[in-house]
Amino acid sequence: MQYTTDVRIIRLMCTGRVDPTMVAEAFMEGADGIMVVGCHFGDCHYISGNYQAKVKIGLASKALGYVGLNTGRVVFNQCSSAEGDRFVSQVTAFHDSICAIGPLGSAENLSLPALKDRVDTARTALASEKLRWVVGKFTEFEKSGNKYGEKFTAHEMWRTLDTIVIDEIATHGILKEMGKGAASVVELARRLEIAPPEALKYVLALQRRGLVGLAGVDGSTPSYKIVERPARAA
């Protein structure tokens, strides 16, 4: 049983421990690919950690995909401790696919600093309260329904998740850009590569939440900035 020397294993108690932000951080450190390997469903040594992991990794992959990372760089696999052969074939297949995708940045057509900056936006979104709640509730909703007893299929849930991920990434992208200084909607839209009306929608939503305010008006173009808020009281 032999496999590539290109992998390093990080031991965790359970794949449920994998915080989606860890995945983003590893790419910011320069990893070319990340494979999360957990138990088979129904056979999790920690009961249900692997269901959580599947959603968390799926979400990380979506968020990273939206900011331009090749999603083939993140996989979630399942393998029991008695299945050495299976592990080897999973590692080998993943290694082959990463070799085909190429080193970080190449398939993305982005310089490393540019890619890392984008991954950082995904990381902030993955750390956000909203995405955490959705992920947390994902498995529960799928199994037992929401509080009105409505059940959702995984497909429906992922579709909902999709829009939330897009919203969160745009929102955090805007906050990040504004962190560099006041900016107009058109400018923000250009930097984030989204349509100006979309950018306006997010800016207005942020303004309603009191996170963003008017910085000034340049001719007829308003520019916006982040509203400084007192640090959280201890």
Which residue stretch of 48-56, 166-174, 193-201, 208-216 sits at the interface with another protein (rule: CB under 8 A)?
48-56
| CA-based nearest residue to 61, from 202, 154, 143, 169 | 169
Among 37, 48, 209, 211, binds another protein (CB under 8 A): 48
Work out the end-to-end distance of the chain between its first and last CA atoms, rounded to an integer number of angstroms.
Answer: 54
Q: Which of 99, 133, 190, 209 binds another protein (CB under 8 A)?
A: 133
Cα distance between residue 83 and residue 89, in whole Å: 10
Q: Which of 77, 101, 107, 127 binds another protein (CB under 8 A)?
A: 127
Footprint on residues 75-104 left by another protein (CB under 8 A) = 80, 82, 88
Q: Give the integer Cα–Cα distance in Å for 211 and 206.
A: 5
Site string for another protein, 162-191 (x = CB under 8 A): ------------------------------
Residue 135 contacts another protein per CB under 8 A: yes
Q: Interhelix angle for 49-66 vs 129-144, to 10°?
A: 130
The residue count for binding another protein (CB under 8 A) is 44
Q: In whole angstroms, give the CA distance from residue 77 to residue 33.
A: 13
